[in-house]
Amino acid sequence: MTMVQDRPPGQIIETDVVIIGAGPVALFAVFELGLLDIRAHLIDILDKPGGQCAELYPEKPIYDIPGLPVVTGQELTDRLMEQIKPFDPTFHLNERVDEISKHDDGRFLLKTDVGTCFLTKVVVIGAGGGSFTPKRPPIDGIEAYEGTSVHYSVRRMEVFRDKNILIVGGGDSALDWTLSLQPLSKSLTLLHRRDDFRAAPHSVEKMREMVAAGDMRLMIGQLSCLHGNDGLLESVTVKTKEGEERLPVDTLLPFFGLTMKLGPIADWGLNLEENLIPVDTEKFETSEPRIFAVGDINVYPGKLKLILSGFHEAALMAQKAHKYIYPDKKLLFQYTTSSSSLQKKLGVR
């Protein structure tokens, strides 16, 4: 498996298949395509493969995967990753597909938010419930400060130099950024609703040491109001057990986890039904030939948003994708149990 990190922007990657999303269904699509000699590139906005299983419920058990009486979200992801290893897919993580357009030669041109471009014969949308995006605290008027004073992620630390920072949350993101940004901030406060943290114990311990040394402040309470002008934050109101406190800060970093939002898919010119992509049930192709949709993102009569249904969809999709990619090759139906050519591809000895 290849993980792509810092690649110079602007480069165009030419390939047979790009899969949008790296959830469980996308991962199994790599397997089904691989058996038919089709290698895939996968793009996901998350920093890891596994989609909902890895992000929303890594530790929770799933009981309806055929043949696995019980498996956690993370275990299923790990097993799928192991199963697709022979097909050496390329993962482009932390990237969101923003645009799809038709190229002159009939292929599709895909562009990500960081500028990576793909030219591909076939697109498989395995986008689930949409792109994972940071949750926005439901505080009135917060939108006005986003991008200027309110940030949901840190791309460049320098932006935070000499700022009066408020970080909100109790998980790893909140604690990790507290530890990383404190040294360059003018002042830093960590706000959490209780004096108990989900984050890794060693970062919590470090944070408490910094508080004890007077380098930062820990507040127990909840954010209730933002104050400022023209997108520039001046202070916030924090509700604590003792009452309300107005805290002068110019930078706010809320870390309340991720949620799924349809995102750019809405702008791709595909037919949509209530944020889902209608497909046929023979090939799971969309209104645009050569663009397929599998897993939670698609809809058809009788659709069930189950992992096992997505696996089936991926198998049938691969058959049709093969026709597009190798129009002159006949496909022979084969079992992995008995086909020596399939076993060779899988690296069975």
Partner 1 sequence: MAKITFIQPDGSKQVVEATVGQTVMEAAKLENVPGIEAECGGACACATCHVYIAEGWREKTGAPSEMEEDMLDFAFDVRTESRLCCQIKVTEELDGLIVQVPAKQF
Ligand X SMILES: Cc1cc2nc3c(=O)[nH]c(=O)nc-3n(C[C@H](O)[C@H](O)[C@H](O)COP(=O)(O)OP(=O)(O)OC[C@H]3O[C@@H](n4cnc5c(N)ncnc54)[C@H](O)[C@@H]3O)c2cc1C
Judged by the rule CB under 8 A, the positions of this chain that interact with partner 1 are: 56-57, 60, 135, 137-138, 169-171, 192-194, 196, 198, 222, 224, 256-257, 259
Binding segment toward ligand X, per CB under 6 A, in 130-138, 144-152, 188-196, 330-338: 130-138
Q: Tokens 């497909």 identify what position?
A: 279
45 binds ligand X per the rule CB under 6 A: yes
Q: Which of 202, 265, 191 is nearest to 224 (CA)?
A: 191
Choose from partner 1, ligand X, none: what does 53 bind? Cβ within 5-8 Å by kind.
ligand X
Tokens of 290: 């050569």
- Alpha helix ranges (H) inside 153-306: 172-181, 201-212
* DSSP character at residue 33: H
Cα–Cα distances in angstroms (integers) from residue 248 to residues 150, 165, 167, 245, 323, in the given order? 14, 9, 13, 10, 62
Choose from ligand X, partner 1, none: what does 322 bind? Cβ within 5-8 Å by kind.
none
Choose from partner 1, ligand X, none: what does 132 bind? Cβ within 5-8 Å by kind.
ligand X
CA distance 250 to 149: 6
Given candidates 16, 23, 118, 314, which one binds ligand X under the rule CB under 6 A?
23
CA 240 remoteness from chain centre = 34
35 binds ligand X per the rule CB under 6 A: no
Phi, psi (rounded to 5 degrees) for 278:
-65, 140
16 binds ligand X per the rule CB under 6 A: no
Choose from ligand X, partner 1, none: what does 8 bind? Cβ within 5-8 Å by kind.
none
Q: Which of 305, 29, 78, 336 is nearest to 68 (CA)?
A: 78
Count of residues engaged in binding ligand X, rule: CB under 6 A: 37
CA distance 93 to 184: 28
Nearer to ligand X, 305 or 345 (CB): 305
Three-state DSSP at 311 gives helix
Binding segment toward ligand X, per CB under 6 A, in 6-14, 39-47, 155-163, 196-204: 39-47
For residue 295, the minimal CB distance to ligand X (Å) is: 2
Q: Which residues sit at the interface with ligand X, rule CB under 6 A?
A: 20-26, 43-46, 51-53, 56-57, 62, 64, 96-97, 126-132, 263-265, 295-296, 305-308, 310
